[in-house]
Amino acid sequence: MRRATDASCLSRPALYDPGMADISAEQVRAEVAEWVAGAWDPSITVAEWWVRLAASGYAAPMLPESVGGRGYPRDLATTVSNVLEEHGLVGPPSGLGLMLAAPTLAVHGSPEQQNEFIPPILDGRSAWCQLFSEPGAGSDLAGLATKAELDGDEYVITGQKVWTSGGQHADWGMLIARTNVDAPKHQGISYFAFRMDQPGVDVRPLREMTGRAMFNEVFIDEARVPAANLIGGLNNGWAVANTTLMVERASLGSGGGGGGTLGIAVPGPIAGHLNRPVGDFVQLRAGAATGAVGGGTLKQLSELARTVGCSGDPTVRQGLAELHTLAEVGRWNLMRARSGQRATSVEGNLAKLLGTHSLRRTREIGNHIIGAQGMLWGTDTLSNGAVQELTVFSPGPSIYGGTDQIQRNIVSERGLGLPKEPGNFRTTPYRDLPKNG
């Protein structure tokens, strides 16, 4: 996840199989429940559980069957996630590999790249991060300065990235870098699958107000990436990055965070979770702010209101009804995007805006319920500290994944047809543009 971007808003790639739209949620629910009954075993390792989950196609059910998914539309994929949560299981490998890298590779990767990179994402053997934003290229992502220079059959990468979620646990990164300074800034960018655990890569966690370190800054000094790891073609990285961005915005807007899960196991070899018993990770993520707002959040707030004794408060009831309405509007928006009928081309941006608005309202309603305890911290407080941490975390989602201001710019220009900012950045070579300070 990153700060912001002025990325062009392309229609979200159609990953699912349209023929799957005729399958009912009840049928999927029954099939997943039957599979769980035969597959779940808390004594096996996390690695073995994720192998079983990946083999079933339920690790990433929205991906095409050809790359390990089931081709489900979002509502059926949500049904799969709900069944896993209802059974109290560890869900699919969390993080940006499943959320962003696999869908991007499914659209732009060659068959060889899909075979190399997607299976280890689905079964948790590899963890990914997103190397997009830079200190001088957040709101203007296309102004990035990290360079990639061809040296034989490898590219040499030098530059700095920031706001890199999960970078401290990632062994692979989705990297965009400048490969042509003589082309306009959007046209001289390439997209790479970048190995993180190599000389020349320094990952430094950034501590947040929550006390956690979700984000990192990454310094890259003449690190190398094989030319075979170029995704989507030379100097075509902006189009590939837009696929990643649209998947991200739709996922964030719908409350996604890498495959809804009650467990907190981290994929990849660096975190050291793969060889531990999967049953060790069956626990609620108490107090862990994720930025996701959905039916589970509404249920938790409703139960909290009953515990506190304010479930009859008209203001609380109205607030909970508002959250339900916002969740339904978000679901309908994504259904419209999936159908392609009367699509605005900015459904992903609208989903992101709705998601951050819903999160702010959740923060306000949650604090109204717990009252003065909102000033306390820790798991021994009302809500086990979840509302309090969500409150401190809440500014983040309006910044990462593209700021709310950038989303509104995209909606106004590409959805409503309003005039764009003046300038000739679309035709001026990157080397001749003023650089961000």
Paired tokens of 396: 């983040």
Closest CA to 270 of 122, 198, 168: 168
The one catalytic residue in 134, 217, 248, 389 is: 248
Q: What are phi and psi of 394, to 5 degrees?
A: -55, -30
Active site residue 26: no
Rounded to an integer, what distance in angstroms lies between the CA atom of residue 123 and that of residue 201?
Answer: 25
> What is the rounded radius of gyration, in angstroms, for the C-alpha atoms of the chain?
21
The residues annotated as belonging to the active site are 248
